[in-house]
Structure 1
């Protein structure tokens, strides 16, 4: 069973601490059919969480250093100077082979530990310039939700931490498991890490979400050769208006969203059926195995066959 440890530090923001506790800290074996994570909160005794209460951790930073995955929530210090003992524990965990990830300004802890040198990383957009100035060896991208560099992962502020945690669950347990988990948490199962941290368009005056029926229809017809024009007709909008509505509501364009959903469907089929690659391609809307393989390689850096072997073996174990 993989051990996930979240770092508790004095004054840690409540939301950034709560997200990994929610995602990793509740047993979800009924979703995966196999072991879930063993979860630990590690930190000093009686640490203050935000301004409201104190948390007594059962584990300390020595336990954090022994975990398989270490999550560092936002820094509490206005100067963003992370505690030296936390930095040492995070560095020790990484040197042992752990996967290390940060939420929001937790990236400053990873940077102080030297784990971001020569890597691309992100943090909350308000702190990105400071991160870049203080740690010039880090390539800071202030415009994305999260960055996956293999064993080192960073995310932007608040809700982007949820995106990163779900991304990790997807890596570990596959698309079907994270989709069910997101459904229980009533949150989108996946937002691409490259999406913008914030959208500057105004909130529409109408509270009615006229995209929902179109999204539901598209998801029900992914195996068909539907196009953005088809979606626009269904929404009673011009393609240009549909594009604008997508950017406002979803944070990406209709074509990209459609390809993302087809890729998710292909992942689910590869994980939970024995369909041949041609049939997976057909039922997920890629039409041909060659097209599916091209999109898989571009988005996931692997082939459908390798992906299936990875997750079939993992779920069987």
Structure 2
């Protein structure tokens, strides 16, 4: 990752949409990543024709997955997946370095319609209760790492904070925003999606300064409060600045990521690095599906036949693959 330099009002060529921009604020001992998503997000959401509330929720998961997955320093895969009892019972975001991305949502259309009629379509309510799993896979010769955090009616932002407190113990602030955009072109209404995300982490040189306070153990005597600990002043300042970020600033194409970072951190000096492009790129292939089908028993192959053929549809990109059953029954 090469350094671009300190930000000034007009000092850096904007990274643009669908590009993760790493940065650091040396004066506050923080590092982070910011992204604005446009065409890549719209194409992933449009091909499934999700109801708008489902699209918005999946958009938040996509941005979170990109912010986390883009931190990998090696060739590998970052997988974010929810399993819940809510109307949207599964979200999957698959990020493969350096920037290939795919995602999908599974939902109960009737339950979503009922919630829409009742006016209760908050993202946390759509998710319900369950778990969020984050998996890092470096390849066949390494062990997978997986972190799991409970979903209990909290937003994905809140869940991300809990994940870092429990699993990484690195003070972290996350902001996510997704919006449905309507513009008029040649007398017609054009529909698209935009999203933005900001992740900031406190990473000073001294380990004593970066330790995250332990979570309550639950075994303290009744009436005894946990001992309060003051956060580092630099982290308090950084966290306060991040909290001032408005949703519209994260998604507005007129406020590129560099300008947002300058607004937040110019008094402390913010340095940006080379952006990494993010692409709507599915990893499915005929060869991979053949490998899966060859692992099926003859009985399973027979059960998969419809109208004399086996048809497999990729849940991510919607591409259909047709196979002759005889290829797997010989």
Q: Which has the larger radius of gyration?
A: 2
Q: TM-score, normalised by structure 2?
A: 0.23
More strand by share: 2
Q: TM-score, normalised by structure 1?
A: 0.24
Report which structure shows greater RCO (CA 8 Å, sep ≥6).
2
